[in-house]
Copies of this chain bind each other. A is one copy, B any other.
Amino acid sequence: MATAQELTPAAIRALTREVSAAEAEALHEQISQLMRQRIESGEWPEHLKLPAEPELAGALNVSRGTVRRAIRTLIEAGLLKQTRGKGTFVRGQMLEQEFAQELISTAQSLDREGVEYQTQVLSARVIQAPSHIAAHLGLPADDLSVLAIRRTRSVAGEVVYLLDNYLPTVLCPDLSPQVLQDRSLFGVLEHDYGVTVESVRRTFSAILPDDDVSAAMSLRPGVPLLYLEQISYQANGNSVEYSDVWVRGDRVRISSWIKR
């Protein structure tokens, strides 16, 4: 498995020289303060991996408990993050979403990052599918009806995602859109309708939003968005859902670890 670049021994030594047991300030506070300066200055960039706690404690000549407490402070401040089995990393200010590589939804991806978010259903209505959506969903010419649901996902009171989902009404005739305020669409399809999404096709591009999207996301003009088209398939190859998703380009990054 790939790993991020780790902090160099020289960088740790530089830190050590600034830690003083003689100072009144608690050691863990000195350490977290020095680390904070390096993160905020960009000297320790996003994704940089910190050495393991015992190694860091040894290099700084302090106890493991002191290191752990300093790191805890910075995790709570949102400057570091710990990934189980992988280590401690400098955290960026952007949300990182791995959904170009993994079959996880935007909701699951936010959950994984430990980010709190709210979902709001803006509208839900049965419409005749536009022709490109009808074709992607393989709808028969005599029944083009789809449930069209528009939702937003907000983080810290700011709309980060706008999601337009289109579902053939035959698939989930009695779906109440309000359940999608608290539950994921894939989860509802699987648990309430026995429809399992086995694969998705996603394409990402960069766009400037039109007035409709800007209004729904409460954007000021000129904010670039990631535009994502998604088509979801069952194991038998039949498509079950088409979506257009708009993502704040200045808040969210799509992230992939790719191995040869």
Contact = CB atoms under 8 A, between A and B. Distances in A.
A147 interface: no
A255 B2 contact: no
Contacts of A197: 260
Interface string A140-165: 11000000000000000000000000
Interface stretch (A24-32, A109-117, A174-182, A198-206): A198-206
A8 interface: yes
Contact of A258 (B10, B101, B135, B206): B101
B103 A101 contact: no
Given A198-B260, A201-B2, A225 B237 contact: no
Copies, count: 2
A18 interface: no
A39 B5 CA distance: 47
A260 B103 contact: yes
Contact of A6 (B2, B138, B231, B260): B138
A224 B207 contact: yes
A100 B5 contact: no
A131 B45 contact: yes
B201 A225 contact: no
Nearest to A101: B101
A249 B205 contact: yes
Contact of A96 (B1, B2, B4, B203): B203
A259 B203 contact: no
User: What size tier do the contact residues of chain A reach?
Assistant: 35 or more
Contacts of A166: none
A207 B99 CA distance: 19
Nearest to A43: B131
Which 7 residue pairs are nearest across A and B when measured between Cβ atoms? A206-B249, A2-B199, A100-B100, A45-B132, A206-B206, A224-B224, A206-B224
Interface of A: 1-8, 10-11, 14, 41-48, 94, 96, 99-103, 131-132, 135-141, 196-208, 222, 224-226, 231, 233, 237-239, 247, 249-250, 252-260
30 contacts: A4-B201, A5-B135, A5-B136, A5-B138, A5-B238, A7-B135, A8-B138, A8-B140, A8-B141, A11-B135, A43-B135, A47-B136, A94-B205, A96-B203, A100-B101, A100-B204, A100-B254, A101-B256, A103-B259, A202-B255, A202-B256, A203-B254, A203-B255, A204-B253, A204-B254, A204-B255, A206-B224, A206-B249, A222-B222, A224-B224
